[in-house]
Amino acid sequence: MECYPVAKVGGLADVVGALPKYLNKIEGIEASVIMPWYNKPFVHDHSFEIVFDGWIHQSVHTFQVQVMKERSQTLGFDLYLVKIPGLLDRDNPYGYWDESQQFLAFQHGVLHWLSAMKIRPDILHCHDYHTGLVPFMIENCPEFNFLKGVKTIGTIHNGEYQGQMRWDMANYMPWFYGENYGLLDWNGYINPLATMIKCCHAFNAVSGGYMQELFQNFRGLESLVQQENGKAYGIINGIDTEVWDPATDAFLDFNFSKKDASEGKWKNKKALCEEYGLNPDLPLFSFIGRFAGEKGADLLPKIVEKSIQQTQGRLNVMILGSGEKQIENELKELSGTYSNFALDLGYKEYLSHKIYASSDFLLMPSRVEPCGLNQMYAMRYGTVPIVRYIGGLRDTVEDISTGGSGINFGDATAEDAVNAMHRAMHIYHDHDLMKNLIQSNMDFDFSWDKSAHIYLELYRK
């Protein structure tokens, strides 16, 4: 339901905004994105044409469905927005009381449009539970008989969210063959993510490490994914190296390449520290992301306090993010207590780029991390990641003790994270080692070029 730069909440947007662009660079491939219409600047700043205008029925309600196509392929692929007045015409992707109805209407509207216009893709690639019912609807709703047999792939970006809803919501779905209701059911509820796994032709998690974890810990779907393991894959995400390039990044105060990385990072760090009242001569540890338990964000207040106290203030910590109010309030209180702690609340794309370029170390104390993109952005900008050894972080960040370019720690605790920060302090003060880490991190190839070809192999299967 997200696509950068149209609408972004998390990493899903970065993937959907980059993968089709890189697929389209491969000869013979034509990839497009279909997503809901949101009241966002991108929509108003670009030109769209209406390519479909129809109606769908949900229970006793009738809704208009408009499909709008962006005229100039600004993003490197055809972008289609589905607008349903009253449901898909709002400011934000998530957070509404009628989300289940919204997502049902989106899936219904997309399949109604494709069927009515006789558009039959080779593959429909569905992302997360929000589109998890598409593989079921194609095969079990007679309204979409034209699409029957179209291959479907489901990508699990975060198995913590499954879209579970009560069975009375089936009234909002297009009519389906009732004898196949079991494909929708999981423990007495409609579970779109479980349905996607049951009905799609193949599914993948966004890293090999996370795929393995799902077999053991999947919020109740462990037995299902074990049963369907023959069509399970792990494919690590890439990053858009055209957007994330310190040599050309327009958000940075000073651009730099691998050749002048140490000098370039210092200039950016000095500018950022001056803006936020920090001492640029101290190592800068940063966190960027949502304040949610799965990101380990509830540990941040203790991490800030312990790290500053145990080092007698010989480091800086900067945090950019928003989310759970209790975490925000605890961090606000600390920002008034410690002069070497900077806090900026909210989602600010430009500032995240500045922080990656300026930081010496990036903290990721995640409890769950299906892939993680932040560590890849950090390494692209010569920043050393400090990560919990889990999921996609395990696949992408090897500890310096075994020849890698990052720091791993085992448990999602403030103590383990602060101990890792102590290790980082020793690295920071070894100037030759730090310089080598900066350059070796910038050498890593996390581009979508590689991952797009792996997805293409899966499509062809």
168/183 Cα distance (integer angstroms): 16
37/44 Cα distance (integer angstroms): 11
Q: How many residues does the chain have?
A: 461
Do the bridges between strand 61-70 and strand 78-83 make them parallel or antiparallel, or are there none, so unpaired? antiparallel
The DSSP symbol for 383 reads: P
Do the bridges between strand 123-127 and strand 78-83 make them parallel or antiparallel, or are there none, so unpaired? unpaired
Q: What single string gives the DSSP state of each residue in 387-439? A: EES-HHHHHH--BGGGT-SBEEESSSSHHHHHHHHHHHHHHHT-HHHHHHHHH
136/182 Cα distance (integer angstroms): 11
354 is known to lie in a ligand binding site: no
Radius of gyration of the chain (CA): 23
The HSE-up count of residue 48 (CA atoms within 13 Å, CB side) is 20
Q: What single string gives the DSSP state of each residue in 293-337? A: GGGTGGGHHHHHHHHHHHTTT-SEEEEEEEE-HHHHHHHHHHHTT
Judged by DSSP in three states, 54 sits in strand
320/288 Cα distance (integer angstroms): 5
75/16 Cα distance (integer angstroms): 11
Look at residues 214, 396, 295 and name the one whose alpha carbon lies nearest to residue 385.
396
Residue set of the binding site for ADP-alpha-D-glucose: 8
Residue set of the binding site: 8
